[in-house]
């Protein structure tokens, strides 16, 4: 069977329509960090300059230090998956091993670089260098704080008004490569209205921050918007969490309990001079909109009144204005709607009140002026929004034969008018004989089989779309090819006799592959979870044994140097075993 060019074009078009390609332009950044910012004068410190682009880096002035080793240049790449999309991150580093030549507070000035015609500079770092001799006496010795792991509550503001939106972020800062949260407790916060911000599909993205020259991995636990409901000093109590650190392929890790800071918020009362209709509403960019469905109508016809208030503020507590309608109008229960979005920028959206009125007498009627007052955060003043009074003209009813069968209630259905509800029965019918019946014909059997055929085609199409429009599934299918590319990088490093970097690259490549292929988070990867995943995919014991040996050798290389011959053997074993795993772990 031959396939013409138009068929290839059609297949290509379908494939491109199913795959979304997102190109993100990443800007340039440069940062510096040290292995420790509190050392003795006989100790060493590792100083690193890191950028995300390969450019010329101007190292800072290091006159307060002796350069023991370096500079060493290196590069690495990693793959992250965010909302099912694979992102490749390149990192270029310059590393020094330094020893201080004096005691006291020493400062490393920023490193500089140019990219696309712009000059950039990193952060500066302050290192405290103390004397080498220790006082063995434990008298008056203060407990040292673990600067490698801590939790923190961050606020967008600490001085606020009652009802004002505040962003609260709960984070864990760690310098350990592997950390798993096993228990987390959020205490009750009294005196606040609060609502959690919905996280993205895979949770809040993991970030890196440099604090006092030390690099940290930052895990965001939760973000929420709070609004104080009373004045004075309010406190958000600390969170407490249990974590496992230094968890690796061989052991569960060490359990630690960390407790965050508590934060205090000063809630100010509203200033004097508030209008009578002020109802503790606070925010900015508020708008008041009022709509009337008609200006003139007849007795017993419906009138819709819609009041809409939109803006940024404590909309959840917003109370819509109460209107005193003319007594000649029958007022039906109102319908209230809200379209509110809660993000890291606060609460925004609108509230809508829909009111149905039915005039029972004719004449000219006035709906009074509608007012709404709020405290504007931009100007720190009260603002009153007004809509003028509205005159509605009601004419006499026609008095025809039409009758109202139903009136709109809470469901806001239209008023239905029914006329001529008695219809004549058709009495003159003609019957004719069909001389060519459909039964038993080709068309009959085709029509009979068409539902099953259509259902089968639809099932195949939906399954095809599910298989090829899911970025995570596509990434899992391509995990093997991605691993083979990482093998090429590891082989290149090995050919340069960089054995340590080779094992790091190989180990990272295997962990990324196993995490992606078997849907195991990196933090949960260990010997037990990998073996369970292999057994679920019915991978034979001899293959499991081989992968265990490869990972164990990579771990051992961290502590004891291995020969180039051993490295080549491990790489060869990795290349051969990947095809065997792919044969069983099919997606």
* DSSP per-residue string spanning 115-183: ETTEEEE---EEEEEE-S------TTPPPPP-TTEEEEEEES-SEEETT--EEEEEEEEE-SS-EEEEE
pLDDT of 465 strictly over 70 = no
Co-location of 236 and 167 in the same domain: yes
Using N-to-C axis directions, what is the helix angle for 499-517 and 541-556, rounded to 10°? 140
260 and 323 share one domain: no
Domain closes at, from 385, 406, 427: 406
Instruction: Measure the CA–CA gap between 546 and 542, rounded to whole angstroms.
Output: 6
| pLDDT score of 372 | 93
Question: Is residue 421 in some structural domain?
Answer: no
The pLDDT of 40-54, averaged and rounded, is: 83
Number of domains in the chain: 4
Please give the share of the chain, as a percent, with pLDDT higher than 90.
26
Residue 265: the pLDDT is 93
Q: What percent of the chain has pLDDT over 70?
A: 78
Same-domain pairing of 124 and 173 = no
* Overall residue count recorded for the chain in this entry: 587
Question: Are 489 and 553 in the same domain?
Answer: yes
> Does 449 fall in a domain?
no
pLDDT average, residue stretch 434-455: 72
Whose CA is closest to 177, among 432, 412, 504? 504
25: left (phi over 0), alpha (psi -120 to 50) or beta: beta
Quick count: other Cβ atoms within 10 Å of Cβ 300? Answer: 15
Of 38-42, 299-303, 546-550, the least confident: 38-42
Same domain, 232 and 307: no
**pLDDT tier for residue 167 given thresholds of 50, 70 and 90:** very high
Whether residue 402 sits in one domain with residue 290? yes
- pLDDT at residue number 432: 61
Q: What are phi and psi of 30, to 5 degrees?
A: -140, 140
Check whether 184 has a pLDDT greater than 80.
yes
Where is mean pLDDT largest: 105-119, 525-539, 571-585?
105-119
The predicted pLDDT at position 405 comes to 35
Q: What is the pTM (predicted TM-score) of this model?
A: 0.55
Distance (Å, whole) CA 586 – CA 584: 6
pLDDT in tens, 136-147: 433 333 434 567
Q: Are 309 and 407 in contact (CB under 8 A)?
A: no
> How sure is the predictor about 170, in pLDDT bands with cuts at 50, 70 and 90?
very high
Quick one: pLDDT at residue 304?
A: 94
Out of 130, 163, 186, a domain closes at 130
Beta bridge partners of 227: 193
Domain that holds residue 573: 478-584
pLDDT at site 41: 76
- Does residue 311 carry a pLDDT above 90? yes
**Does the residue 411 lie in any domain?**
no
Position 418 scores a pLDDT of 38
Measured distance CA(482)–CA(117) in Å, rounded: 34
CA gyration radius, the chain: 35
Whether the per-residue pLDDT at 392 is higher than 90: the answer is yes
CATH number of the domain that 514 lies in? 1.20.120
When mean pLDDT is compared across 114-123, 208-217, 350-359, the lowest value belongs to 208-217
Give the mean model confidence (pLDDT) for residues 26-55. 82
Residue 434 lies in a domain: no
Dig out the tokens for 128 from the structure.
């405290």
The CATH number assigned to the domain holding 234 equals 2.60.40.10
Please count the CA atoms within 13 angstroms of the CA of 514 that sit on its side-chain side: 26
Within this chain, do residues 229 and 203 fall inside the same structural domain, yes or no? yes
Mean pLDDT for 479-495 is: 85
DSSP 317: G
Question: 172 CB contacts (<8 Å, ≥6 apart)?
Answer: 149, 150, 151, 152, 179, 181, 218, 219, 221, 241, 243, 258
Q: Is pLDDT of 3 > 50? A: no
Instruction: Determine, yes or no, domain membership for 437.
Output: no
Q: Is the residue at 137 inside a domain? A: no
Q: Is residue 577 part of a domain?
A: yes
Residue 446: inside a domain: no
**CATH assignment of the domain containing 47:** 2.60.40.740
The reply to whether 80 and 114 lie within a common domain is: yes
What mean pLDDT is predicted for residues 78-82? 55
pLDDT tens readout for residues 403-441 = 343 343 333 334 443 334 444 455 565 666 555 666 667
**Phi, psi for 33 (deg, rounded to 5):** -155, 165
**CA–CA separation, 395 and 408 (whole Å):** 21
């Amino acid at each position: 069977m031959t396939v013409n060019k138009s068929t290839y074009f059609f297949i290509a078009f379908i494939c491109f329509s199913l795959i979304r390609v997102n190109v993100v332009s990443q800007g340039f950044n440069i940062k510096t960090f040290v292995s420790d910012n509190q050392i003795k004068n006989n100790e060493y410190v590792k100083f690193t300059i890191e950028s995300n682009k390969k450019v010329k880096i101007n190292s800072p002035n290091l006159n307060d230090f002796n350069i023991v080793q370096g500079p060493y240049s290196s590069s690495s790449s990693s793959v992250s998956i965010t909302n099912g999309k694979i992102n490749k991150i390149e990192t270029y580093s310059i590393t020094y091993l330094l020893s201080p030549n004096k005691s006291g507070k020493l400062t490393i000035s920023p490193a500089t670089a140019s990219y696309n015609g712009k000059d950039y500079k990193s952060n500066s770092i302050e290192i405290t260098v103390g004397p080498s001799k220790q006082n063995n006496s434990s008298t008056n010795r203060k407990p040292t704080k673990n600067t490698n792991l801590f939790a923190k509550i961050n606020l967008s503001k600490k001085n606020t008004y009652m009802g004002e939106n505040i962003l609260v972020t709960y984070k864990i800062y760690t310098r350990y490569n592997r950390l798993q949260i096993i228990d987390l407790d959020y205490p009750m916060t009294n005196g606040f209205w609060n609502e959690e911000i919905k996280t993205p599909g895979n949770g809040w993205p993991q970030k890196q921050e440099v604090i006092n020259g030390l690099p940290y991995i930052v895990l965001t636990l939760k973000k929420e918007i709070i609004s104080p409901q009373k004045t004075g000093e309010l406190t958000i109590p600390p969170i407490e969490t249990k974590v496992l650190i230094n968890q690796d392929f061989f052991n569960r890790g060490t359990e630690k309990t960390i407790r965050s800071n508590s934060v205090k918020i000063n809630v100010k009362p509203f200033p004097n001079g508030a209008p009578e209709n002020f109802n503790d509403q606070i925010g900015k960019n508020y708008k008041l909109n009022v709509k009337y469905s008609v200006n003139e109508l007849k007795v017993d016809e419906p009138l819709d009144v819609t009041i809409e208030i939109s803006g940024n503020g404590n909309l959840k507590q917003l109370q819509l204005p109460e209107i005193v309608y003319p007594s000649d109008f029958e007022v039906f229960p109102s319908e209230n709607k809200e379209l509110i979005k809660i993000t890291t920028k606060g609460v925004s959206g609108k509230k809508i009140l829909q009111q149905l009125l039915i005039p029972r007498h004719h004449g000219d009627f006035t709906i009074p002026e509608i007012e709404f007052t709020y405290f504007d955060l931009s100007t720190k003043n009260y603002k009153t929004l007004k809509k003028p009074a509205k005159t509605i003209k009601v004419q006499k009813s026609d008095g025809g034969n039409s009758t109202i069968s139903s009136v709109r209630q809470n469901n806001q259905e239209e008023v239905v008018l029914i006329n001529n509800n008695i219809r004549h029965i058709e009495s003159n019918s003609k019957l004719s004989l069909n001389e060519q019946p459909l039964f038993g014909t080709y068309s009959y059997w085709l029509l009979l089989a068409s539902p099953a055929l259509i259902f089968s085609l639809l099932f195949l199409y939906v399954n095809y779309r599910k298989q090829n429009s899911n970025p995570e599934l596509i990434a899992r299918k391509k995990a093997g090819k991605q691993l083979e590319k990482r093998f090429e990088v590891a082989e290149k490093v090995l050919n340069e006799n960089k054995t340590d970097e080779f094992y790091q690259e190989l180990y990272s490549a295997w962990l990324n592959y196993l995490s992606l292929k078997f849907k195991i988070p990196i933090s949960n990867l260990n010997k037990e979870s990998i073996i369970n995943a292999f057994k679920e995919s019915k991978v034979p014991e001899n293959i499991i044994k081989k992968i265990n040996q490869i990972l164990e050798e990579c771990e051992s290389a961290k502590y004891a140097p291995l020969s180039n011959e051993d490295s080549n053997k491990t790489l060869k074993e990795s290349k051969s075993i990947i095809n065997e795993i792919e044969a069983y772990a099919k997606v």
